[in-house]
Structure 1
């Protein structure tokens, strides 16, 4: 005999598995197709994210590596190699923070700003339109709402796991 509560739990678990597998697939496809969208500018989706983060007016003076890692929700180790490659390509620069010499500030260079604003942005906007084809403004709003809700729950998990392991949250 199947009990209604067990059936509901099985259904919830099955749906959760499907949601997280689809998120995994979407993340992989974003990396693959997003990188293709901006590869002629010499960018990857990770570099696109860094330039996007640094293009915000509130960080015109730069961001510390730690703040950038927290904003992008990546480890400092993963960000380190990315920053080195982007510095080599002339898109960003890093220098000691005048307020805290132990910290480094990352800024977008003029070359990086040109690549971001003139070359990449039109292609990114086109990519968004293609990826969101068939989505109404209401669909996009609801998708964003649920992704933010999921992200908030995952950040709570990360904080609890970090506290349990003695690490700082990502």
Structure 2
């Protein structure tokens, strides 16, 4: 008998609750482990333009990784939500001024040099849920899927806790998969 898959809405509710229930010490340890994990990527030396995000709603915090990327001389970008609900990415240096978007999430105040996802080498994506095959569940706005639709070559790295792993996720035709998932405990290659 085939296994039934809960709706995306139900999964989001359950997985966000799991994420919020994670002890703070465990969440910090996962965030601190990200730089060492990502340095093991075969593509690491070639990644120069990397977009991240600012953690919200108990997401795995990429801040230590963004600082590490900056220290390694890589250009960091953060997403800026566009009127069409796609994302463009603005250069950002840790500590630079931010302004809140309509969701209360900081975006770079400096917007003079925006890039599309196709102009990046890698994109770090926040995860609500994920599978080992690289399927991802986000918050449901479609921002990343819209932005990645024309960016086939960008390396897509999902950041999420191991408690967010599920065996099955409902899929829509527009869903964009991941190349890697970093949990703070492991770096998983979804392309194999």
What's the TM-score, normalizing by structure 1? 0.31
Choose 1 or 2 for highest CA Rg. 1
Instruction: Return the TM-score normalized by structure 2.
Output: 0.29
Which has more strand, going by share of residues? 2
